[in-house]
Amino acid sequence: MGKQIRLELQATLKRFLPAAYEDYPIECGIRVRDLLEQLGIPEYEVNLVFINGVPTNLDSIIEGGEKVVLYPPLGGG
């Protein structure tokens, strides 16, 4: 049975934000990498991943109920 996550996409990734981002349905045990594929986000466009405020990576597992925040590479100077 699937569960939901709260999804936040920052900056240039916002164009991939689905309509149901506050209750985005997932299968339990999905990796962040698989979530990107579902959303149509190329891996190279994601630089930082946070799950419940904790920095993580594309191989982290999502069980449902988490807040997942994705950031693109950031520039500045």
Rg over alpha carbons for the chain, rounded to the nearest Å, is 12
The kind and range of the H/E element at 36 are helix 32-39
pLDDT digits (tens, 9 = 90+) for 24-47: 999 999 999 999 999 999 999 999
pTM of the model: 0.92
- Mean pLDDT for all residues in the chain: 95
- Confidence band for 50, pLDDT divided at 50, 70 and 90: very high
Tell me which amino acid residue 48 is. L
Query: Per CATH, is 2-71 categorized as 3.10.105.10?
Result: no
Tokens of 75: 């520039």
Task: Please list, in sequence order, all residues whose beta carbon lies within 8 angstroms of the beta carbon of residue 47, skipping any fewer than 6 positions away.
Answer: 71, 72, 73, 74
Instruction: State the maximum Cα–Cα separation within the chain, in Å, rounded to a whole number.
Output: 46
Q: What residue spans define the domains of the chain?
A: 2-71
